[in-house]
Structure formats: C-alpha cells, structure tokens
Amino acid sequence: MTFDVLIIGGGLVGASLAAALKSSGLNMALVETQPTAPPNNNAGWDNRIYAISPGGAAFLTQCDAWQQLDMNRVQPVETMRVFGDNDTELDFSAYQLGEPELAFILENRQLQQVLWQGLQEQDNLTLFHPAHCASLVWHDDAAHLQLVDGRTLQAKLVVGADGGNSWVRQQASIVAPPTLYNQHGVVANFTVEKAHRSTAFQWFQPDGILALLPLPQQRVSMVWSVSPEKSEVLLKLPHEELCAQVAAASQHTLGALQLVTPPAAFPLRLLNLPQIIKPRLALVGDAAHNIHPLAGQGVNLGFRDARQLAQVLLQRDAQQDCGNIHLLRRYERARKEDILSMQLTTDALKKLFNNSNPLLRAARNLGLAATNRVAPLKKMLARHALN
C-alpha cells in the first residue's frame, strides 16, 4: 500500500496534522496502536487535562474539531495568578490584553474523540488502528513500514507523532540524552469550595510547582511538580489527606477541596534534539521535544509543529516530493526558534524556583514583582503564550 504521507501516532498532534491536511490532495495513512474509545457523554472527568492557547484553538477550528466540542466541558481562562515563595505575585488578565480569554482548559479524551470522529470520515486518509509497527526502513525513493500483522506500507514522508518515547525517532537514529528533572507531575481533579472565577493559579515553591487550572462546574485540575519521593507519598495518601495537603499548599485560596479523579503521576524531563527531520522524516509533538509542564505549553508547542508542517506541505509545488529534505528543512527552520525559546524559558524557571539559594530566592521574587509592574514586559510574555 502506497501513500504520500504516513503519520505514526494518532494522539492529539498526529490526529490534528492529519485533519489539517484534509484538503491537501495528499493520499495519507495514520497508524495508531490504541483502539478508539466510543463517545460517552456520561463519562467521568478525565484527569489528563490540557490548557489550549487561543492559537491552538484557532488551529483546531481549521481542523473542524474545535466546533465539535461539548463547550459545557470546556473552561475559558480569563485571569492567571502566579505566586512566588515570598508573597510576590504576577497576574495576567485577558481584559488587559484585549483578548476574550488567555486559554481554554479541556479534557484530553473529549478532544481526542472529536478529532478521531473527523478522521474516520476523511476521504484522503486510511486508518490503521489498532496496529503495531514491526520495522521501518528508509530508501532513496520512499520509506517502508512493516506492521506486526505482516502488512507493508510505503510512503514518501513518514511523520513521527508517537510521543516522548518515540519508536520512529529510535528507528531514525535521532538520539539525544534527555535531561531528567528528578520531578514527577502529579495530576488530579477536585471540586472546590470557593468559585475559581475562570482563574488559573500557580504557586512556585522551593519544593515544587503547584498549578490549579479551572474546570467547569466549580472544579479544578491540579498539576503538582514535585520530587519522586514526594510524588510517591502523595499517591498513597488517603483522599481526604491529599485534599488537605493541596488546599494548604494553595494557601486555601479556593477553600476546601474534594477529590473527583484519583491522582496519577508521570516523570518530567527536557528533550532537546539535534534535528527533527531527515530525508523522508519529520518529527512533531513530544516525539520532537519535551519541556517542563510549568507553563502548560507542551501540547500547544505540538499543535504549532502540526500547523507549520501542514503549511509547508500545502504550500509546496504540486509536483514536489513531500519527503524532499529541502522542503522539510523549511519546517525545521520555522520551528527551531519557538521550540528552543520555550525549552529555555521553562528550564530556567524550573531551576530558578526549585532552588534553596537565598540570593536566588531574593532575585526571583524581586523579578516576579518587577515584571508585574512593567506592563509592556507582562504583555510580551503573555502574547507568546497566546500563539
């Protein structure tokens, strides 16, 4: 079976790329290991939550996905409050920026389902799911993928969208040692006593970074970046004790908490690759980069990869081979600055705040307070996150 583009990985980024190329005229295939879950409007809340930027929402609208979402389960963020470890605060307001919202908080499962519903009706796309890859070999004229069941797919371009532990990246011998943060991200959802007023909260503390993101129906989603040891303790706590600890760490800003979804944890790391393309190969999303979740920008970075790669493929000459290295370099060059900027920013913030040095503590809180007073600097920081 022969295709122009073969996407390996059908998560949010891989699925959105396929959707963005719906009108491209390219013959495409998508391989995903997991079966699709049937839509379930009565499902409980997903503890895997994303903060989608307005730019990400605009891209998903172009993919005909955003307008299919159940907006009763999507929470706009109108304000963000960031607290240092010395009563300093930095706040961002959509109103001050002249924007309707700063971000949208929604569940992975809901967005995944609407994207896949669209893909199943897409004329230029063949879906292989659940399907498992056995081998991937690149030749001058095409790449050849063999599936475990014996089927062979051939494509001019392979896109690796298969996550942080990318099998595609390993097959292409694109290697870089990840920087382990010695932190886990602990996630859970809670109902809160006090109204969150469409506000996202974040506390930078010497022993971790706590974020509470607003959800509909007086709920919040927690991402708490802590040491592996503390993560293990938090996961084992009785639910009432976990709620009490999160309430205390958030300075009781939202009052008493009640657990909605049990906590889960995942290790955090930084991955900066020497390249994200090779002849007939492009990497997108977590296969191309990993960043600390403190800015909530990981999935948005992936959507910008998908948007840029789709743009490059859509704007190519009709006869140009979509796996041509010169074409793919346009994608890599366009993404390099954004990826590096986000990696450096999140890495520097993590190191600055997870540090017990008293001089750094004074400097970081001074910087937070100063930034809050300089309106142009605040706007510049916020504008980047809106993309």
pLDDT in tens, 262-293: 999 999 999 999 999 999 999 999 999 999 88
Residue with tokens 């730019």: 55
Amino acid 39: pLDDT: 63
Q: Domain containing 139 — which CATH number?
A: 3.50.50.60
Nearest CA-CA partner of 287 in 132, 168, 155: 168
Amino acid 372: pLDDT: 55
Residue with tokens 């532990």: 165
In this structure, are 206 and 329 located in the same domain? no
* Burial category of 123 from C-beta neighbours within 10 Å (exposed 0-12, middle 13-18, buried 19 and up): exposed
Task: Report yes or no on 340 lying in a domain.
Answer: yes
**Number of Cβ within a 10 Å radius of residue 103:** 26
Torsion of CA 72, 74, 79, 81, to 10 degrees: 120
The whole-angstrom separation of Cα 88 and Cα 70 is 37
Amino acid 269: pLDDT: 93
Amino acid 359: pLDDT: 58
The pTM score is 0.92
Distance of CA 380 to the CA centre of its chain: 21
* 339 touches 331 (CB < 8 A): no
In this structure, are 139 and 112 located in the same domain? yes
**Number of Cβ within a 10 Å radius of residue 340:** 12
What DSSP designation does 173 have? Answer: T
In this structure, are 220 and 320 located in the same domain? no
CA atoms within 13 A on the CB side of 109: 14
Task: Report yes or no on 29 lying in a domain.
Answer: yes
In this structure, are 33 and 53 located in the same domain? yes
Q: Could you tell me the residue range of the domain that residue 303 belongs to?
A: 2-38+47-60+108-178+271-350
Task: Report yes or no on 156 lying in a domain.
Answer: yes
Q: How long, in residues, is the chain?
A: 387
- Rg (the chain; Cα; Å): 21
Amino acid 36: pLDDT: 75
Torsion of CA 99, 93, 295, 378, to 10 degrees: 100
Amino acid 363: pLDDT: 63
* 14 touches 7 (CB < 8 A): yes
Tell me which amino acid residue 55 is.
G
In this structure, are 284 and 345 located in the same domain? yes
Amino acid 90: pLDDT: 82
In this structure, are 346 and 367 located in the same domain? no
In this structure, are 225 and 368 located in the same domain? yes
In this structure, are 204 and 237 located in the same domain? yes
Task: Report yes or no on 65 lying in a domain.
Answer: no
In this structure, are 95 and 241 located in the same domain? yes
In this structure, are 6 and 114 located in the same domain? yes
Based on the structure, what is the number of domains in the chain? 2
In this structure, are 219 and 367 located in the same domain? yes
Instruction: Using 70 as the pLDDT threshold, list the residues of the chain that sit under it.
Output: 37-43, 295, 351-385
Amino acid 242: pLDDT: 98
In this structure, are 291 and 158 located in the same domain? yes
Q: Domain containing 206 — which CATH number?
A: 3.30.9.10
Task: Report yes or no on 66 lying in a domain.
Answer: no
